Amino acid sequence: MIQFDNVHKQYSDGTQAVNGLSFEVEEGTTTVLVGPSGCGKTTTMQLVNRLEEPTEGTVYYDGTDIQELPATELRRQIGYVIQDIGLFDHMTIAENVATVPELKGWDDDRTDERVDELLDLMGLPPEEYRESYPGELSGGQQQRVGVARALAAGPDVMLMDEPFGALDPITRENLQDEFLDIQEEIETTIIFVTHDINEALKMGDKIAMMNDGELVQYDTPAAMLEAPATKFVEDFIGPDRTLKQLRVLQVSEIMRTEVPDEHRDVVDAFDPADTVMADGGELIPVTPTDSAQVALSRCIQAGVRALPVVEDATVIGVVTEEDIRGYHADEIEATSE
C-alpha cells in the first residue's frame, strides 16, 4: 500500500531525519513507527501525506510515486490525527467532522448522515454533541472527534501521530481499546507513530522500530519480542521482555479445550453469576482475546494454577500457568536449535 524505497530526508539546517529507509506498509494493517525522540518517525509518517518531501528516494502510494499525486488530493484520501488534536475551535463538532467531506464537495445529506454515523462509532451521541463546540469537551472526547474527523471521508490510509499521547493513562487505555475495535471494522491501512513501546505492542500488526533515521527492525510484535535484531531494540523493549511477550500472546493461542482432570475444579467453580471461588480467593475467568499476561496475573491473584476460558458465559476451555510457562520454554528451545 505504502512503500518506502531508499528514502532520505535532510532538513535545510542539515539534520538528517531519515536515512535510507526501505520498507512496505501492507494494506489493511496497522504499522507502528516506534523509537526515541528525534529518530525520524514523525518525519517518516509525514512523507506519506507530503507534509514533508524526501530529498532522495521514492515513496509509493498504491504503486504510484506520491510526487506525481497532487498534495491536497492525496491528503484528502489520507486521514490525519495528531497529538495536539487541532480541532477547529470556532466550529461545532459536526462541522469539524464534516471538514473533509465538505472539501470534497459531498452533498449535505450524505455529509450529515456520515457525521452522525461517526459520532455514534466514537461513542459521542450525535443528538448530544453535534452542536457542541470543542471547548466544551474533555481531552479524550476531543480526540474522539479528531479521529472521527480523520475517518470522515472513508480514507484508504490513516496517519496517527501519537494520537493518545497527551491523554491521561485511563483515557488513553480506553481509546486504544476502542480504536482497536474500530480498526477491525474499518479495515483501513494505519500508520501509527508512538514513542511508547507498550502502545506499539498493543496497537501494531507490524512494528517498525527506528533509531537515528534508520529502520532497525521491522517485524510483528511477537517476532520482535522473541528475537530483537540489535542491542538497541532489546534495550528499547526493556528488561521485562518476557512479560511483554505474554502481553501480545492471546489466551486463545495457548488454551486447552480438553480440560485436564487436575484443573477440573476451576471449571466447576465457574458460575456465570458468581466469580468467587470456594476457598475465598477471587477467580476472574479470562476470554480468548485476553492476553496471557492477564491470565497469569489472575492466576497469581486468585492463587490458582489454571483459569477457565469463558466466551458468552460458557466455559470453552482452560488456560494453565504451566502452559504459559511452557510456551516460553518452547521458544527458548526453538531459538537455541
Q: Judged by CB under 8 A, which of 27, 64, 90, 282 binds other proteins?
A: 90
Nearer to other proteins, 17 or 302 (CB): 17
Binding flag, residue 195, other proteins (CB under 8 A):
no
Q: What angle do helix axes 108-121 and 139-151 make, rounded to 10 degrees? A: 130
Which one, of 214, 184, 217, lies nearest residue 200 by Cα? 217
| Buried-exposed string 150-172: b where 16+ CB fall within 10 A, e elsewhere | bbbbebbbbbbbbbbbbbeeebb
Q: Judged by CB under 8 A, which of 69, 74, 186, 243 binds other proteins?
A: 74
Q: Judged by CB under 8 A, which of 99, 188, 211, 245 binds other proteins?
A: 99
Q: Judged by CB under 8 A, which of 40, 54, 134, 308 binds other proteins?
A: 134
Binding flag, residue 232, other proteins (CB under 8 A):
no
Other CB atoms within 10 Å distance of the CB of residue 285: 23
* Site residues (CB under 8 A) for other proteins, limited to 245-304: none
Q: Judged by CB under 8 A, which of 1, 34, 39, 82 binds other proteins?
A: 82
Nearer to other proteins, 48 or 310 (CB): 48
**Long-range CB pairs of 225-230, under 8 A, 24+ apart, other chains included:** 225/201, 226/331, 226/335, 227/335
Binding flag, residue 151, other proteins (CB under 8 A):
no
Q: Which residue has the cell 502481553?
A: 247
Binding flag, residue 11, other proteins (CB under 8 A):
no
- Cell numbers that stand for 196 in this block: 511508547
Binding flag, residue 129, other proteins (CB under 8 A):
no
Rounded Cα distance between 120 and 124, Å, is: 6
- Minimum CB distance to other proteins, residue 126 (Å): 17
| Residues paired with 116 in a beta bridge | none
Q: Judged by CB under 8 A, which of 33, 59, 100, 299 binds other proteins?
A: 100
- Minimum CB distance to other proteins, residue 8 (Å): 22
- 221 and 207 Cβ atoms separated by less than 8 Å: yes
Nearer to other proteins, 100 or 118 (CB): 100
Binding flag, residue 149, other proteins (CB under 8 A):
yes
Binding flag, residue 69, other proteins (CB under 8 A):
no
* Site residues (CB under 8 A) for other proteins, limited to 32-51: 49, 51
Distance of CA 212 to the CA centre of its chain: 23
Count of residues for the chain? 337
Stretch in the footprint of other proteins (CB under 8 A) among 144-152, 194-202, 252-260, 288-296: 144-152
Binding flag, residue 165, other proteins (CB under 8 A):
no
Phi/psi for 282 (5° steps) reads -85, 125
Binding flag, residue 163, other proteins (CB under 8 A):
no
Q: Judged by CB under 8 A, which of 7, 66, 85, 255 binds other proteins?
A: 85
Rounded Cα distance between 24 and 192, Å, is: 14
Radius of gyration of the chain (CA): 23
- 104 and 153 Cβ atoms separated by less than 8 Å: yes
| Interface positions with other proteins (CB under 8 A) | 49, 51, 72-76, 78-80, 82, 84-92, 99-100, 103, 133-136, 146, 149-150, 159
